[in-house]
């Protein structure tokens, strides 16, 4: 049976004039289920037939999540779609992922093993007296553990292996994992000790490390993340000039401080100075998260990208169309030598339209495109918790 809130959403969308097909596509249930609710054959709170298949919006959602987080575990993804209303079993979900070839390539590869046997020079320190590194290194928010330890080693003219030698074995196990956010039950009891050892070694605080490094993340705020590299201007301010791999909340696409589009991992960033509406859209997405879960926003964002008009309807609206923005981005980022057909340009260019449409998808009753932007923002503000 559908959760009460979902059943009510069906009724709301129906009253707003949505077709059965549109609601079914939007919410990921069968048209028959939607019809049963709209016709009153099924009422909220009463068991309904269970759709077993992963519908297109859910499949798109899964594809998107695997693309932005290649280490995402299917188990975690299953929990995300359940929260969005998928009511199939876990076995059904896995079967559908396989059937639709949604597992990313190489997903089941075994973890890369760090070779720890080649320790030639041991870090010398008196027994019972934990060493402290001369140069402290501040972690970047969302930084992967291996990146932080590597920077720490470099700053102190050591190798990663040498740094690992003076840390509890927790670290060697952790960095040999492809995904350092995975909290293996065998490692959890030793996490607090490991945290304090690293804080001591680096002369930082456990709180600061926990806040910055997802490897210590005990909170679930890192539930929906994507892999990217930290804003290069943010890191340059700290004297770091190499890319810093980070895991950021999935909706976090823009460094609003510097106006930088944070592309997915291994792709170049874009300068957004010439397109401030993209930065504004990031603020809007942040506001939407006060009322909706990251999963709901991601699903709506995915659905929105499919309904954005590919071309301007008339020459008069060209300056307002995202293709105009696309051209501006390509021109202003020309010096980065990114191929002009690279997806990141499109992703960034359509972002304001996608967030605008996503807001409407999430709350169709309150969404009225005729209103001015300012009024829409105020209406969102009224519903702040």
Contact positions vs Zn ion (CB under 5 A): 231, 233-234, 255, 257-258
Q: Smallest distance, Å, CB 249 to Zn ion?
A: 15
Q: Dihedrals φ, ψ of 196, to 5°?
A: -70, -35
Pick 234 or 327: Cβ nearer Zn ion = 234
211: its two tokens? 């806040």
Pick 229 or 305: Cβ nearer Zn ion = 229
Query: Could you count the other beta carbons within 10 Å of the beta carbon of residue 318?
Result: 13
58: its two tokens? 């859910």
Pick 63 or 233: Cβ nearer Zn ion = 233
Q: Smallest distance, Å, CB 159 to Zn ion?
A: 30
- Label residue 349 exposed, middle or buried (CB < 10 Å: 0-12, 13-18, 19+): buried
Q: Smallest distance, Å, CB 180 to Zn ion?
A: 23
Pick 10 or 244: Cβ nearer Zn ion = 244
Q: Smallest distance, Å, CB 139 to Zn ion?
A: 16
Pick 255 or 281: Cβ nearer Zn ion = 255
Q: Which has the closest alpha carbon to 344: 269, 280, 272, 271?
A: 269
Pick 231 or 358: Cβ nearer Zn ion = 231
Q: Which has the closest alpha carbon to 149: 304, 260, 158?
A: 158
Location of structure tokens 């976090």:
252
d(C-alpha 312, C-alpha 309), whole Å? 7
Q: How far is CA 85 from CA 53, 54, 170, 305, in A?
A: 12, 11, 37, 21
Q: Dihedrals φ, ψ of 22, to 5°?
A: -65, -40
Q: Smallest distance, Å, CB 229 to Zn ion?
A: 11
Residues in a beta bridge with 271: 260
Pick 132 or 236: Cβ nearer Zn ion = 236
Radius of gyration (Cα) for the chain, nearest Å? 24
319: its two tokens? 């300056």
Q: Smallest distance, Å, CB 70 to Zn ion?
A: 24
Pick 202 or 228: Cβ nearer Zn ion = 228
Q: Smallest distance, Å, CB 324 to Zn ion?
A: 26
Determine the 3-state secondary structure of 249 from DSSP: strand
Assess contact for 161 and 121: CB atoms under 8 A.
no
CB closest to Zn ion, residue no: 231
Determine the 3-state secondary structure of 255 from DSSP: strand
Q: Smallest distance, Å, CB 20 to Zn ion?
A: 45
Query: Could you count the other beta carbons within 10 Å of the beta carbon of residue 296?
Result: 18
């Amino acid at each position: 049976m559908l959760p009460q809130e979902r059943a009510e959403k069906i009724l709301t969308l129906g009253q707003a004039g949505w077709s059965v097909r549109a609601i079914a596509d939007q919410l990921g249930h069968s048209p028959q289920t939607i019809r049963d609710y709209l016709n009153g054959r099924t009422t909220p709170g009463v068991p309904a037939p269970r759709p077993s298949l992963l519908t297109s919006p859910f499949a798109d959602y899964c594809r998107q999540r695997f693309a932005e987080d290649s280490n995402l575990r299917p188990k975690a993804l299953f929990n995300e779609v359940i929260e969005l209303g998928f009511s199939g079993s876990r076995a059904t979900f896995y079967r559908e992922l396989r059937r639709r070839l949604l597992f990313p390539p190489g997903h089941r590869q075994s973890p890369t093993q760090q070779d720890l046997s080649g320790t030639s020079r041991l870090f010398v320190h008196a027994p019972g007296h934990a060493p402290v590194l001369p140069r402290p290194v501040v972690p970047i928010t969302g930084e992967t553990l291996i990146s932080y330890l590597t920077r720490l080693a470099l700053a102190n003219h050591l190798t990663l292996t040498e740094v690992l030698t003076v840390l509890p074995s927790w670290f060697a196990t952790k960095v040999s994992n492809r995904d350092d956010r995975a909290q293996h039950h065998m490692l959890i009891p030793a996490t607090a000790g490991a945290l304090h050892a690293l804080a001591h070694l680096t002369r930082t605080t456990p709180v600061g490390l926990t806040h910055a490094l997802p490897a210590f993340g005990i909170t679930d705020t890192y539930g929906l993340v994507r892999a990217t590299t930290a804003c290069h201007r943010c890191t340059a301010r700290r004297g770091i000039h190499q890319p810093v791999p980070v895991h950021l909340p999935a909706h976090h696409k823009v460094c609003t401080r510097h106006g930088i589009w944070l592309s997915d991992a291994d792709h170049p960033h874009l300068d957004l100075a010439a397109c401030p509406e993209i930065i504004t859209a990031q603020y809007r997405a942040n506001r939407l998260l006060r009322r909706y879960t990251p999963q709901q926003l991601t699903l709506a964002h995915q659905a929105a990208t499919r309904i954005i008009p590919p071309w301007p309807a008339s020459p008069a609206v060209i300056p307002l169309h995202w293709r105009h923005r696309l051209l501006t981005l390509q021109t202003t980022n020309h010096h980065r030598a990114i191929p002009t057909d690279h997806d990141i340009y499109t992703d960034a260019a359509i972002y304001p339209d996608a967030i605008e449409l996503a807001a409407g998808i999430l709350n169709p009753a309150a969404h009225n495109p005729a209103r001015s932007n300012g009024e829409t923002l105020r209406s969102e503000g009224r519903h702040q918790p």
